């Protein structure tokens, strides 16, 4: 019998089950999950798993669509139906389906899937000989130069920015170094010199960033790709963001402090005109 699955209330076969393309779990990694071991047809430590699920969901401010009792009966029911003695149950909840935007969409309904798969218990040889491991640096997820769909931290940052009445979050590392926006790159202008953080793995190599640098050079502005500190941003004459969707966008308020004169500055304006010219 093929493995069964439960997807947003519908039963189906695991091999052919589908979730919508616009599900935020797929587009942003915006979801949480649990894997529960089944021994002799019964889930092990189910309440521990459900407690952790609740903590995880609350950590990303996701509403679990069922009560604890509702989840338990769903999981027990599917384990029964699957009929496996030794199995694992996989449960995933995402923020649901909406047009693509980083911040939480209004009125979105969480998505939920559950499936039960047969499991061959480890044993025999692994126990006879033990297993080999290797050590690796724990750099989860420090590879910001990779345009990965693991965007949950960016999603949470954008949401916090929106809740504070801001358009974007500028991300600052523990040492006060500015990296980039949650979905954009950051530039400042000070005394006619343009500065933006370097491509050192802490930021995405934005395509718009590259064009902004090119037009700046063409317009004969001195350009420096070097470390930007939060205090440099605060003391800048102008700050702007770049991205495919924002193009070049002036920043005039940083937290509650005004940047420069509080309106789009002359360098930002001239670079934007030059950028439009390239387009």
Residues lying near ligand PDD in the complex (CB under 6 A) are found at: 154, 180, 183-185, 204, 206-209, 242-245
* Residue 158 phi, psi (nearest 5): -60, -40
Q: Which is nearer to ligand PDD, 5 or 208 (CB)?
A: 208
- Cβ closest to ligand PDD, residue 184 vs residue 196: 184
CB 217 within 8 A of CB 245: no
Least Cβ distance, residue 151 to ligand PDD (angstroms): 7
Question: CB–CB of 79/87 below 8 Å?
Answer: yes
User: H helices within 60-122, ranges in order?
Assistant: 68-82
Instruction: Spot the catalytic one: 147, 190, 195, 210.
Output: 147
Nearer to ligand PDD, 92 or 185 (CB): 185
CB of 276 vs ligand PDD, minimal distance in Å = 15
CB of 154 to ligand PDD, least distance (A): 6
Tokens of 226: 């070097």
**Least distance (Å) between residue 81 CB and ligand PDD:** 39
CB atoms within 10 A of CB 27: 19
Judged by beta carbon, residue 45 or residue 207, the one nearer ligand PDD is: 207
Write the burial class of residue 256 (CB in 10 Å: 0-12 exposed, 13-18 middle, 19+ buried).
Answer: exposed
Q: In this structure, are residues 176 and 197 in contact, taking their beta carbons and an 8 Å threshold? A: no
Q: In sequence order, which ranges of 166-262 are alpha helices (DSSP H)? A: 207-218, 230-234
3-class DSSP state of 266: helix
What is the CB neighbour count within 10 angstroms for residue 11?
A: 11
Q: Give residues with Cβ within 8 angstroms of 9, minimum separation 6.
A: none
Catalytic residue list contains 218: no
CB of 176 to ligand PDD, least distance (A): 19
Nearest C-alpha neighbor of 188 from the set 235, 255, 152? 235
Residues acting as catalytic residues: 147
């Amino acid at each position: 019998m093929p493995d069964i699955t439960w997807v947003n209330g519908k039963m189906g076969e695991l091999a052919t089950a589908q979730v919508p393309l616009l599900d935020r779990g797929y587009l942003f990694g915006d979801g949480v999950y649990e894997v529960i071991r089944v021994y002799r047809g019964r889930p092990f430590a189910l309440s521990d798993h459900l407690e952790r699920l609740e903590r995880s969901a609350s950590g990303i401010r996701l509403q679990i669509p069922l009560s604890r009792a509702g989840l338990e009966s769903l999981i027990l029911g599917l384990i029964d139906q699957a009929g496996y003695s030794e199995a694992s149950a996989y449960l995933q909840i995402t923020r649901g389906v909406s047009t693509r935007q980083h911040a939480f969409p209004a009125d979105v309904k969480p998505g939920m899937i559950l499936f039960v798969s047969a499991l061959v218990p480890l044993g025999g040889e692994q126990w006879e000989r033990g297993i080999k491991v290797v050590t690796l640096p724990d750099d989860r997820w420090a590879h910001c130069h990779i345009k990965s769909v693991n965007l949950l931290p960016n999603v949470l940052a954008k949401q916090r920015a929106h809740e504070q009445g801001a358009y974007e979050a500028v991300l600052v590392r523990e040492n006060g170094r500015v990296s980039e926006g949650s979905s954009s790159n950051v530039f400042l202008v000070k005394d006619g010199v343009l500065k933006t953080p370097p491509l050192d793995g802490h930021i995405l190599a934005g395509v718009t960033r590259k064009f902004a640098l090119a037009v700046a050079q063409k317009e004969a502005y001195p350009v420096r790709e070097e470390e930007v500190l939060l205090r440099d941003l605060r003391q800048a004459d102008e700050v702007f963001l770049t991205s495919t969707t924002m193009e070049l966008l002036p920043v005039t308020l940083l937290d509650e402090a005004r940047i420069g004169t509080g309106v789009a500055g002359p360098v930002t304006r001239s670079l934007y005109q030059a950028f439009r010219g390239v387009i």
